[in-house]
Amino acid sequence: MADHDYDLFVIGGGSGGVRAARISAAHGAKVAMAEEYRVGGTCVIRGCVPKKLLIYGAHFAEDLKDAKRFGWQVPDCDFDWPTLRDNVLADVDRLEGLYQNTLDSHGVETFHQRAVVTGPNEIELADGTRKTARIILIATGARPAVPSCPGHEHGITSNEAFHLDSVPKRIVIAGGGYIANEFAGIFNEFGSKVTLINRGGTILRSYDESVRDRLLQISVKKGIDFRFNAIFEKVEKRDDGTLVVHAKGQDPIEADCLMFATGRRPNSEGLGLEALGVEIDELGAIKVDEDSRSTVPSIFAVGDVTNRIQLTPVAIREGHAFADTQFGDNPRRVDYHCVPSAVFSHPPIAAVGLTESEAKAQYGTVKVYSSDFRPMKNVLANRDERALYKMVCDASTDRVLGLHMIGPDAPEILQAAAVAVKAGLTKQQFDDVVALHPTMAEELVLLK
Protein backbone atom coordinates (compact mmCIF):
# COMPACT_ATOMS: atom_id res chain seq x y z
CA MET A 1 0.00 0.00 0.00
CA ALA A 2 2.78 2.43 0.96
CA ASP A 3 4.28 2.07 -2.52
CA HIS A 4 1.35 4.00 -4.05
CA ASP A 5 -0.26 7.38 -3.46
CA TYR A 6 -3.69 5.77 -3.12
CA ASP A 7 -5.27 2.41 -2.64
CA LEU A 8 -7.90 3.30 -5.22
CA PHE A 9 -8.11 5.94 -7.94
CA VAL A 10 -11.50 6.32 -9.62
CA ILE A 11 -11.80 7.98 -13.01
CA GLY A 12 -15.35 9.23 -13.45
CA GLY A 13 -17.66 10.82 -10.87
CA GLY A 14 -21.00 9.31 -11.84
CA SER A 15 -23.26 7.10 -9.78
CA GLY A 16 -21.10 3.98 -10.06
CA GLY A 17 -17.82 5.76 -9.44
CA VAL A 18 -19.10 7.76 -6.48
CA ARG A 19 -20.58 4.66 -4.84
CA ALA A 20 -17.35 2.72 -5.34
CA ALA A 21 -15.25 5.58 -3.95
CA ARG A 22 -17.50 6.17 -0.93
CA ILE A 23 -17.78 2.52 0.09
CA SER A 24 -14.08 1.85 -0.48
CA ALA A 25 -13.21 4.83 1.70
CA ALA A 26 -15.64 3.62 4.36
CA HIS A 27 -13.75 0.32 4.36
CA GLY A 28 -10.56 2.23 5.17
CA ALA A 29 -9.04 2.64 1.72
CA LYS A 30 -7.26 5.83 0.69
CA VAL A 31 -9.26 6.99 -2.32
CA ALA A 32 -9.03 9.69 -4.97
CA MET A 33 -11.33 10.53 -7.85
CA ALA A 34 -10.98 12.53 -11.07
CA GLU A 35 -14.04 14.01 -12.80
CA GLU A 36 -13.57 16.35 -15.75
CA TYR A 37 -17.13 17.71 -15.86
CA ARG A 38 -19.47 17.61 -12.85
CA VAL A 39 -19.78 15.15 -10.01
CA GLY A 40 -22.98 13.15 -10.29
CA GLY A 41 -22.60 11.81 -13.80
CA THR A 42 -25.18 11.39 -16.53
CA CYS A 43 -28.05 10.39 -14.25
CA VAL A 44 -27.88 13.36 -11.91
CA ILE A 45 -26.53 16.07 -14.21
CA ARG A 46 -28.01 15.38 -17.66
CA GLY A 47 -30.11 12.24 -17.49
CA CYS A 48 -32.59 10.46 -15.27
CA VAL A 49 -33.11 13.13 -12.62
CA PRO A 50 -33.58 16.30 -14.70
CA LYS A 51 -35.50 14.31 -17.31
CA LYS A 52 -37.94 12.99 -14.70
CA LEU A 53 -38.48 16.54 -13.46
CA LEU A 54 -39.31 17.62 -17.01
CA ILE A 55 -41.73 14.71 -17.24
CA TYR A 56 -43.48 15.88 -14.08
CA GLY A 57 -43.71 19.35 -15.58
CA ALA A 58 -45.02 18.04 -18.89
CA HIS A 59 -47.74 15.97 -17.25
CA PHE A 60 -49.40 19.10 -15.89
CA ALA A 61 -50.60 19.78 -19.45
CA GLU A 62 -52.93 16.79 -19.17
CA ASP A 63 -53.64 17.21 -15.47
CA LEU A 64 -54.85 20.79 -15.95
CA LYS A 65 -57.20 19.70 -18.72
CA ASP A 66 -58.51 16.77 -16.67
CA ALA A 67 -59.02 18.96 -13.60
CA LYS A 68 -62.08 20.62 -15.16
CA ARG A 69 -63.87 17.27 -15.27
CA PHE A 70 -63.24 16.96 -11.55
CA GLY A 71 -64.90 20.29 -10.81
CA TRP A 72 -61.90 22.60 -10.76
CA GLN A 73 -62.47 25.82 -12.65
CA VAL A 74 -58.98 26.00 -14.10
CA PRO A 75 -58.43 28.82 -16.58
CA ASP A 76 -56.41 28.29 -19.72
CA CYS A 77 -52.80 28.32 -18.58
CA ASP A 78 -49.66 29.43 -20.35
CA PHE A 79 -46.48 27.41 -19.94
CA ASP A 80 -43.20 29.18 -19.18
CA TRP A 81 -40.29 26.97 -20.21
CA PRO A 82 -37.50 29.11 -18.64
CA THR A 83 -39.14 28.77 -15.21
CA LEU A 84 -39.19 24.97 -15.36
CA ARG A 85 -35.76 24.76 -17.01
CA ASP A 86 -34.08 27.00 -14.45
CA ASN A 87 -35.76 25.28 -11.49
CA VAL A 88 -34.66 21.89 -12.80
CA LEU A 89 -31.09 23.07 -13.31
CA ALA A 90 -31.05 24.57 -9.82
CA ASP A 91 -32.05 21.20 -8.38
CA VAL A 92 -29.28 19.56 -10.38
CA ASP A 93 -26.83 22.01 -8.78
CA ARG A 94 -28.20 21.07 -5.36
CA LEU A 95 -27.75 17.35 -6.03
CA GLU A 96 -24.24 17.86 -7.36
CA GLY A 97 -23.36 19.57 -4.11
CA LEU A 98 -24.72 16.64 -2.12
CA TYR A 99 -22.64 14.19 -4.15
CA GLN A 100 -19.52 16.28 -3.57
CA ASN A 101 -20.29 16.53 0.14
CA THR A 102 -20.58 12.75 0.30
CA LEU A 103 -17.13 12.34 -1.21
CA ASP A 104 -15.64 15.00 1.05
CA SER A 105 -17.18 13.54 4.21
CA HIS A 106 -15.66 10.15 3.40
CA GLY A 107 -12.21 11.60 2.80
CA VAL A 108 -12.16 11.03 -0.95
CA GLU A 109 -9.76 13.47 -2.62
CA THR A 110 -11.40 14.92 -5.75
CA PHE A 111 -9.58 16.27 -8.79
CA HIS A 112 -11.86 18.30 -11.04
CA GLN A 113 -10.00 17.59 -14.24
CA ARG A 114 -9.53 14.89 -16.83
CA ALA A 115 -7.38 11.89 -16.04
CA VAL A 116 -5.82 9.26 -18.27
CA VAL A 117 -4.14 5.97 -17.42
CA THR A 118 -0.42 5.93 -18.16
CA GLY A 119 0.48 2.66 -16.48
CA PRO A 120 -1.12 -0.31 -14.70
CA ASN A 121 -0.90 1.70 -11.48
CA GLU A 122 -0.38 5.25 -12.76
CA ILE A 123 -2.72 8.12 -13.65
CA GLU A 124 -1.87 11.44 -15.28
CA LEU A 125 -4.10 14.45 -14.62
CA ALA A 126 -4.74 17.19 -17.15
CA ASP A 127 -2.35 19.53 -15.33
CA GLY A 128 0.46 17.04 -15.82
CA THR A 129 0.48 15.71 -12.26
CA ARG A 130 0.99 11.96 -11.97
CA LYS A 131 -0.55 9.80 -9.26
CA THR A 132 -0.22 6.13 -8.47
CA ALA A 133 -2.76 3.68 -7.08
CA ARG A 134 -2.83 -0.02 -6.29
CA ILE A 135 -6.18 -0.26 -8.09
CA ILE A 136 -7.62 1.95 -10.83
CA LEU A 137 -11.36 1.98 -11.45
CA ILE A 138 -12.78 3.30 -14.74
CA ALA A 139 -16.31 4.65 -14.30
CA THR A 140 -16.57 7.12 -17.16
CA GLY A 141 -20.07 6.14 -18.31
CA ALA A 142 -21.37 6.60 -21.83
CA ARG A 143 -22.20 9.43 -24.22
CA PRO A 144 -24.90 9.99 -26.86
CA ALA A 145 -24.13 8.45 -30.24
CA VAL A 146 -24.72 10.77 -33.20
CA PRO A 147 -25.03 9.59 -36.83
CA SER A 148 -22.31 10.84 -39.14
CA CYS A 149 -24.57 12.10 -41.93
CA PRO A 150 -23.86 15.49 -43.54
CA GLY A 151 -25.19 18.28 -41.32
CA HIS A 152 -25.36 16.20 -38.15
CA GLU A 153 -23.65 19.07 -36.32
CA HIS A 154 -26.91 21.04 -36.53
CA GLY A 155 -28.62 18.60 -34.16
CA ILE A 156 -28.54 18.34 -30.39
CA THR A 157 -28.63 15.40 -27.99
CA SER A 158 -30.39 14.85 -24.70
CA ASN A 159 -27.41 16.60 -23.05
CA GLU A 160 -28.36 19.93 -24.59
CA ALA A 161 -32.14 19.47 -24.33
CA PHE A 162 -32.09 20.63 -20.71
CA HIS A 163 -30.55 23.98 -21.69
CA LEU A 164 -32.71 25.09 -24.62
CA ASP A 165 -33.62 28.77 -24.74
CA SER A 166 -37.19 27.95 -25.68
CA VAL A 167 -39.45 25.03 -26.53
CA PRO A 168 -39.15 24.41 -30.28
CA LYS A 169 -42.38 24.72 -32.25
CA ARG A 170 -41.32 21.75 -34.40
CA ILE A 171 -38.86 19.11 -33.27
CA VAL A 172 -37.58 15.99 -34.99
CA ILE A 173 -36.35 13.29 -32.62
CA ALA A 174 -34.20 10.57 -34.11
CA GLY A 175 -34.32 7.15 -32.45
CA GLY A 176 -36.72 4.53 -31.20
CA GLY A 177 -35.46 3.80 -27.70
CA TYR A 178 -36.48 5.04 -24.29
CA ILE A 179 -34.77 8.44 -24.54
CA ALA A 180 -36.44 9.19 -27.88
CA ASN A 181 -39.90 8.22 -26.67
CA GLU A 182 -39.55 10.02 -23.36
CA PHE A 183 -38.53 13.30 -24.95
CA ALA A 184 -41.20 12.87 -27.64
CA GLY A 185 -43.77 12.79 -24.85
CA ILE A 186 -42.20 15.73 -23.03
CA PHE A 187 -42.05 18.06 -26.01
CA ASN A 188 -45.49 17.00 -27.25
CA GLU A 189 -47.02 17.98 -23.90
CA PHE A 190 -45.17 21.30 -24.04
CA GLY A 191 -46.87 22.04 -27.35
CA SER A 192 -44.21 21.11 -29.89
CA LYS A 193 -45.06 19.38 -33.13
CA VAL A 194 -43.06 16.19 -32.64
CA THR A 195 -41.86 13.89 -35.41
CA LEU A 196 -40.00 10.77 -34.32
CA ILE A 197 -37.95 9.09 -37.01
CA ASN A 198 -36.38 5.68 -36.57
CA ARG A 199 -34.12 3.71 -38.88
CA GLY A 200 -35.88 0.50 -37.80
CA GLY A 201 -39.47 -0.63 -38.00
CA THR A 202 -40.41 -0.53 -34.32
CA ILE A 203 -39.92 1.37 -31.09
CA LEU A 204 -38.50 0.05 -27.82
CA ARG A 205 -37.24 -3.24 -29.22
CA SER A 206 -36.30 -4.71 -25.84
CA TYR A 207 -39.83 -4.33 -24.44
CA ASP A 208 -42.77 -6.65 -24.86
CA GLU A 209 -44.57 -6.19 -28.16
CA SER A 210 -47.97 -5.64 -26.55
CA VAL A 211 -46.96 -2.67 -24.40
CA ARG A 212 -44.79 -1.00 -27.02
CA ASP A 213 -47.63 -1.28 -29.56
CA ARG A 214 -49.98 0.28 -27.03
CA LEU A 215 -47.59 3.19 -26.49
CA LEU A 216 -47.37 3.71 -30.24
CA GLN A 217 -51.17 3.80 -30.55
CA ILE A 218 -51.54 6.27 -27.69
CA SER A 219 -48.66 8.46 -28.90
CA VAL A 220 -50.11 8.72 -32.40
CA LYS A 221 -53.48 9.67 -30.90
CA LYS A 222 -51.73 12.41 -28.89
CA GLY A 223 -50.39 13.85 -32.13
CA ILE A 224 -46.83 12.49 -32.34
CA ASP A 225 -45.83 11.65 -35.91
CA PHE A 226 -43.77 8.47 -36.39
CA ARG A 227 -41.61 7.74 -39.44
CA PHE A 228 -40.15 4.22 -39.58
CA ASN A 229 -37.40 2.65 -41.70
CA ALA A 230 -36.01 6.14 -42.21
CA ILE A 231 -32.24 6.34 -42.58
CA PHE A 232 -30.64 9.79 -42.32
CA GLU A 233 -29.27 11.25 -45.52
CA LYS A 234 -28.51 14.84 -44.59
CA VAL A 235 -29.54 17.82 -42.48
CA GLU A 236 -29.73 21.29 -44.01
CA LYS A 237 -29.75 24.52 -42.04
CA ARG A 238 -31.49 27.50 -43.61
CA ASP A 239 -30.49 31.12 -43.24
CA ASP A 240 -33.33 31.68 -40.73
CA GLY A 241 -31.96 28.90 -38.49
CA THR A 242 -34.63 26.33 -39.29
CA LEU A 243 -33.67 22.84 -40.37
CA VAL A 244 -34.68 20.44 -43.12
CA VAL A 245 -34.15 16.79 -42.29
CA HIS A 246 -33.75 14.37 -45.19
CA ALA A 247 -34.23 10.65 -44.62
CA LYS A 248 -34.32 7.84 -47.15
CA GLY A 249 -37.84 7.04 -48.30
CA GLN A 250 -39.36 10.03 -46.49
CA ASP A 251 -40.48 13.47 -47.51
CA PRO A 252 -38.17 16.22 -46.16
CA ILE A 253 -39.15 17.28 -42.66
CA GLU A 254 -38.95 20.94 -41.63
CA ALA A 255 -38.05 21.56 -38.03
CA ASP A 256 -36.80 24.14 -35.57
CA CYS A 257 -34.77 21.56 -33.65
CA LEU A 258 -33.34 18.11 -34.29
CA MET A 259 -32.51 15.88 -31.35
CA PHE A 260 -30.48 12.70 -31.74
CA ALA A 261 -31.47 9.88 -29.38
CA THR A 262 -29.81 7.15 -31.37
CA GLY A 263 -28.14 5.16 -28.62
CA ARG A 264 -25.18 5.66 -26.32
CA ARG A 265 -21.54 4.65 -26.59
CA PRO A 266 -19.15 3.80 -23.73
CA ASN A 267 -16.68 6.56 -22.84
CA SER A 268 -13.44 4.59 -23.16
CA GLU A 269 -11.67 6.59 -25.85
CA GLY A 270 -8.55 8.58 -25.07
CA LEU A 271 -7.98 7.10 -21.62
CA GLY A 272 -4.82 5.23 -22.58
CA LEU A 273 -6.37 1.86 -21.86
CA GLU A 274 -5.69 -0.05 -25.07
CA ALA A 275 -1.98 0.82 -24.98
CA LEU A 276 -1.82 -0.97 -21.62
CA GLY A 277 -3.56 -4.09 -22.90
CA VAL A 278 -7.08 -3.39 -21.62
CA GLU A 279 -9.41 -5.12 -24.05
CA ILE A 280 -12.16 -2.98 -25.59
CA ASP A 281 -15.02 -4.42 -27.63
CA GLU A 282 -16.27 -3.15 -30.99
CA LEU A 283 -18.68 -0.71 -29.32
CA GLY A 284 -15.99 0.78 -27.11
CA ALA A 285 -16.99 -1.08 -23.95
CA ILE A 286 -14.31 -2.25 -21.52
CA LYS A 287 -14.34 -6.04 -21.25
CA VAL A 288 -14.55 -7.15 -17.62
CA ASP A 289 -15.10 -10.36 -15.69
CA GLU A 290 -17.74 -11.03 -13.03
CA ASP A 291 -15.70 -9.02 -10.51
CA SER A 292 -15.48 -6.02 -12.89
CA ARG A 293 -11.77 -6.67 -13.51
CA SER A 294 -10.39 -5.86 -16.95
CA THR A 295 -7.70 -7.79 -18.80
CA VAL A 296 -5.14 -5.75 -16.83
CA PRO A 297 -5.36 -7.11 -13.24
CA SER A 298 -5.04 -3.71 -11.51
CA ILE A 299 -7.63 -1.96 -13.69
CA PHE A 300 -11.37 -2.41 -13.10
CA ALA A 301 -14.47 -0.85 -14.66
CA VAL A 302 -18.12 -0.43 -13.67
CA GLY A 303 -21.23 1.17 -15.10
CA ASP A 304 -22.10 2.15 -18.65
CA VAL A 305 -18.48 2.09 -19.83
CA THR A 306 -18.74 -1.72 -19.57
CA ASN A 307 -22.04 -1.81 -21.51
CA ARG A 308 -23.51 -4.60 -19.39
CA ILE A 309 -26.85 -3.04 -18.48
CA GLN A 310 -26.91 0.73 -18.93
CA LEU A 311 -28.99 1.65 -15.88
CA THR A 312 -27.98 3.82 -12.94
CA PRO A 313 -29.01 1.33 -10.22
CA VAL A 314 -26.93 -1.34 -11.95
CA ALA A 315 -23.86 0.91 -11.97
CA ILE A 316 -24.41 1.61 -8.27
CA ARG A 317 -24.65 -2.12 -7.51
CA GLU A 318 -21.49 -2.78 -9.50
CA GLY A 319 -19.59 -0.02 -7.72
CA HIS A 320 -20.72 -1.25 -4.31
CA ALA A 321 -19.88 -4.89 -5.06
CA PHE A 322 -16.45 -3.84 -6.35
CA ALA A 323 -15.70 -1.89 -3.16
CA ASP A 324 -16.89 -4.67 -0.86
CA THR A 325 -14.88 -7.25 -2.77
CA GLN A 326 -11.62 -5.32 -3.05
CA PHE A 327 -11.59 -3.44 0.26
CA GLY A 328 -14.34 -4.79 2.50
CA ASP A 329 -13.35 -8.45 2.82
CA ASN A 330 -16.82 -9.32 1.48
CA PRO A 331 -16.49 -10.80 -2.01
CA ARG A 332 -19.75 -10.57 -3.95
CA ARG A 333 -21.04 -10.15 -7.46
CA VAL A 334 -24.01 -8.40 -9.07
CA ASP A 335 -26.99 -10.54 -10.05
CA TYR A 336 -28.24 -9.32 -13.44
CA HIS A 337 -31.30 -11.56 -13.45
CA CYS A 338 -34.69 -9.83 -13.43
CA VAL A 339 -33.53 -6.22 -13.49
CA PRO A 340 -36.64 -4.00 -13.71
CA SER A 341 -36.72 -1.05 -16.07
CA ALA A 342 -39.07 1.73 -17.12
CA VAL A 343 -39.76 4.13 -19.95
CA PHE A 344 -41.10 7.43 -18.62
CA SER A 345 -43.20 8.06 -21.68
CA HIS A 346 -46.77 9.41 -21.66
CA PRO A 347 -48.08 7.05 -20.31
CA PRO A 348 -45.10 5.22 -18.79
CA ILE A 349 -44.01 1.64 -19.39
CA ALA A 350 -42.47 -0.68 -16.79
CA ALA A 351 -41.17 -4.22 -17.16
CA VAL A 352 -39.28 -6.98 -15.40
CA GLY A 353 -38.25 -10.42 -16.58
CA LEU A 354 -38.85 -12.05 -19.96
CA THR A 355 -41.06 -10.76 -22.74
CA GLU A 356 -43.57 -13.18 -24.23
CA SER A 357 -41.34 -13.92 -27.22
CA GLU A 358 -38.26 -14.40 -25.02
CA ALA A 359 -40.18 -16.73 -22.71
CA LYS A 360 -41.42 -18.84 -25.62
CA ALA A 361 -37.89 -19.11 -26.98
CA GLN A 362 -36.52 -20.27 -23.61
CA TYR A 363 -39.40 -22.32 -22.19
CA GLY A 364 -41.41 -23.41 -25.21
CA THR A 365 -44.93 -23.22 -23.81
CA VAL A 366 -46.05 -20.24 -21.79
CA LYS A 367 -49.30 -18.89 -20.41
CA VAL A 368 -50.12 -15.22 -20.79
CA TYR A 369 -52.55 -13.33 -18.55
CA SER A 370 -53.56 -9.74 -19.10
CA SER A 371 -55.82 -6.89 -18.10
CA ASP A 372 -56.76 -4.18 -20.58
CA PHE A 373 -58.64 -1.44 -18.75
CA ARG A 374 -59.30 2.27 -18.51
CA PRO A 375 -58.07 3.71 -15.20
CA MET A 376 -60.75 5.33 -13.05
CA LYS A 377 -59.20 8.77 -13.38
CA ASN A 378 -59.22 8.51 -17.16
CA VAL A 379 -62.87 7.47 -17.14
CA LEU A 380 -64.04 10.53 -15.22
CA ALA A 381 -61.65 12.77 -17.15
CA ASN A 382 -63.23 11.45 -20.34
CA ARG A 383 -59.77 10.47 -21.52
CA ASP A 384 -59.90 7.48 -23.88
CA GLU A 385 -56.56 6.04 -22.83
CA ARG A 386 -56.30 2.42 -21.70
CA ALA A 387 -53.75 0.72 -19.48
CA LEU A 388 -52.42 -2.76 -20.21
CA TYR A 389 -50.91 -5.21 -17.71
CA LYS A 390 -49.44 -8.48 -18.93
CA MET A 391 -48.05 -11.47 -17.05
CA VAL A 392 -46.01 -14.20 -18.77
CA CYS A 393 -45.79 -17.55 -16.95
CA ASP A 394 -44.08 -20.88 -17.43
CA ALA A 395 -46.92 -23.21 -18.48
CA SER A 396 -45.46 -26.19 -16.63
CA THR A 397 -44.67 -24.58 -13.26
CA ASP A 398 -46.97 -21.53 -13.16
CA ARG A 399 -43.91 -19.41 -12.25
CA VAL A 400 -44.09 -15.79 -13.34
CA LEU A 401 -41.39 -15.15 -15.94
CA GLY A 402 -42.20 -11.56 -16.80
CA LEU A 403 -44.45 -8.60 -16.00
CA HIS A 404 -45.10 -5.83 -18.51
CA MET A 405 -47.21 -2.75 -17.89
CA ILE A 406 -48.21 0.49 -19.52
CA GLY A 407 -50.37 3.00 -17.72
CA PRO A 408 -50.34 5.70 -15.04
CA ASP A 409 -47.81 5.03 -12.27
CA ALA A 410 -46.74 1.73 -13.87
CA PRO A 411 -43.08 2.12 -12.75
CA GLU A 412 -44.15 2.80 -9.14
CA ILE A 413 -46.34 -0.30 -9.13
CA LEU A 414 -43.83 -2.55 -10.84
CA GLN A 415 -40.99 -1.88 -8.38
CA ALA A 416 -42.84 -3.84 -5.68
CA ALA A 417 -44.11 -6.47 -8.12
CA ALA A 418 -40.55 -7.03 -9.38
CA VAL A 419 -39.66 -8.43 -5.96
CA ALA A 420 -42.20 -11.21 -6.52
CA VAL A 421 -40.92 -11.99 -10.01
CA LYS A 422 -37.31 -12.00 -8.81
CA ALA A 423 -38.32 -14.37 -5.99
CA GLY A 424 -39.85 -16.81 -8.48
CA LEU A 425 -43.43 -16.60 -7.27
CA THR A 426 -46.26 -18.23 -9.22
CA LYS A 427 -49.41 -16.86 -10.78
CA GLN A 428 -51.42 -18.61 -8.05
CA GLN A 429 -49.44 -16.80 -5.35
CA PHE A 430 -50.37 -13.51 -6.98
CA ASP A 431 -54.01 -14.61 -7.10
CA ASP A 432 -53.94 -15.61 -3.42
CA VAL A 433 -53.44 -11.96 -2.45
CA VAL A 434 -56.65 -10.03 -1.81
CA ALA A 435 -57.05 -7.08 -4.17
CA LEU A 436 -56.45 -3.61 -2.77
CA HIS A 437 -59.49 -1.78 -4.11
CA PRO A 438 -59.94 0.62 -5.83
CA THR A 439 -56.44 0.83 -7.29
CA MET A 440 -54.80 0.18 -10.63
CA ALA A 441 -52.30 -2.14 -8.91
CA GLU A 442 -55.08 -4.56 -7.95
CA GLU A 443 -55.22 -5.68 -11.58
CA LEU A 444 -51.98 -7.61 -10.93
CA VAL A 445 -53.85 -10.08 -8.69
CA LEU A 446 -56.91 -10.23 -10.97
CA LEU A 447 -55.26 -11.05 -14.30
CA LYS A 448 -57.16 -13.41 -16.60
pLDDT tens readout for residues 89-101: 999 999 999 999 9
Residue 142 above 90 pLDDT? yes
Query: What is the mean predicted confidence (pLDDT) over 251-256?
Result: 96
Residue 1 above 70 pLDDT? no
Residues of the chain with pLDDT > 70, as a percent, come to 100
437 is catalytic: yes
pLDDT (tens digit per residue) in 333-350: 999 999 999 999 999 999
Residue 126 to residues 5, 26, 112, 115, 123, Cα–Cα distance (Å): 17, 28, 9, 6, 10
Residue 43 above 70 pLDDT? yes
Query: What is the mean predicted confidence (pLDDT) over 301-330?
Result: 96
Look at residue 249 in the predicted model and tell me its pLDDT: 85
Query: What is the mean predicted confidence (pLDDT) over 83-109?
Result: 95
Look at residue 140 in the predicted model and tell me its pLDDT: 97
Residue 16 above 60 pLDDT? yes
Mean pLDDT of all residues belonging to the chain: 96
pLDDT (tens digit per residue) in 166-216: 999 999 999 999 999 999 999 999 999 999 999 999 999 999 999 999 999
Residue 428 above 90 pLDDT? yes
Query: What is the mean predicted confidence (pLDDT) over 397-421?
Result: 97
Look at residue 2 in the predicted model and tell me its pLDDT: 59
Residue 163 above 80 pLDDT? yes
Q: What span, in angstroms and rounded, lies between the C-alpha atoms of 258 and 14?
A: 27
Residue 268 above 90 pLDDT? yes
Query: What is the mean predicted confidence (pLDDT) over 216-232?
Result: 96
